Amino acid sequence: MSELIHLIDPLYSLSGLAVGTLVGFTGVGGGSLMTPLLVLLFGVHPTTAVGTDLLYAGLTKISGSFVHNLNGAVNWRVTRRLATGSAPAAALTLIGLAHFGKDANATGGVITTVLGFALLLTAAAILFRRFILERAAGLFENRSERQIALFTVALGAILGVLVSISSVGAGAIGVTILLMLYPKMATVKIVGSDIAHAVPLTLIAGVGHWWLGSVDWALLLSLLIGSIPGIAIGSHFASRVPEHVLRPLLAGTLALVGGRLAL
């Protein structure tokens, strides 16, 4: 542990502070911001960036999940349905990455491409959420409880694959689709359930990447040192920042970065 402390990089901690503050402001998952930052700005290998960010996300979401649960803002039935799909999907994805991991360049290329498209989807979910929900209104209204449950498990499986490869998707994309599946559920419960589900998913995927040898512990510690106070700062001042200004700006940034990685 003492060796890790000596390897802490203040620049990474500053980046963690900036990303944590934005997460506190917008509620958008850190993976949408941190992973591309590590890949494009710092030149971290995509597999290491994703693996490290997954554990970073899991650890930072634990406290958020705990608070949401204390406030009664977690629907554990929905969380279980999501996990039923995401846990096996994440495990199978990690096995696939282990198989193709023998070619580091090929694996890095796949991860970069998937990350780019995941960021584009996230940007669309942020920017056009209201339009998407209006268009989808009533789409699942007459579906049976069993059908809704199956759709939720399928969503979990999609998120399991997406998050395990790119560390992106469990936030904006997951919440948008859950709002369509459960239109009568309070938004705060949708968000709380999504965060609660993200904890086991990111930890499973993160431990899997650790097993694959793609976690940089010194980098992880540096990011946590900055992001934990950053999230607190962003959450405190979130009500003072105009959402109609910040969210389009964030969505545009993610779209530009996603296009850069995907193409």
Q: What is the pLDDT of residues 118-176, one digit of tens each?
A: 888 888 887 888 888 887 777 777 788 899 999 999 999 999 998 898 887 777 788 88
Integer Cα distance of 32 and 147 in angstroms: 30
Query: What is the phi/psi pair of residue 103, to 5°?
Result: -110, 95
Span 195-221, pLDDT tens digits: 888 889 989 999 999 988 889 998 999
Span 20-69, pLDDT tens digits: 777 766 656 667 778 888 888 888 988 899 899 888 888 877 877 877 78
Integer Cα distance of 80 and 152 in angstroms: 9
Q: Give the amino acid at 253.
A: T
Q: How many residues does the chain have?
A: 263
Integer Cα distance of 204 and 82 in angstroms: 14
Q: Give the amino acid at 133.
A: L
What residues contact residue 111 under an 8 Å CB cut-off, 6+ apart?
46, 47, 50, 165, 166
- Report helix, strand or coil for 213: coil
> pLDDT category, 252, cuts 50, 70, 90?
confident
Integer Cα distance of 202 and 124 in angstroms: 22
Give Cα separations from 44 to 12, 155, 176, 208 (angstroms).
11, 30, 30, 19
Burial of 144 (0-12, 13-18, 19+ CB in 10 A): exposed
What residues contact residue 204 under an 8 Å CB cut-off, 6+ apart?
87, 90, 91
Tell me what pLDDT residue 116 has: 85
Count other C-beta atoms under 10 Å from residue 35's C-beta. 32
Burial of 10 (0-12, 13-18, 19+ CB in 10 A): exposed
Integer Cα distance of 259 and 115 in angstroms: 10
Tell me what pLDDT residue 157 has: 95
149: its two tokens: 């449950």
Tell me what pLDDT residue 151 has: 94
Query: Is the Cβ–Cβ distance between 146 and 197 less than 8 Å?
Result: no
Query: Is the Cβ–Cβ distance between 39 and 48 less than 8 Å?
Result: no
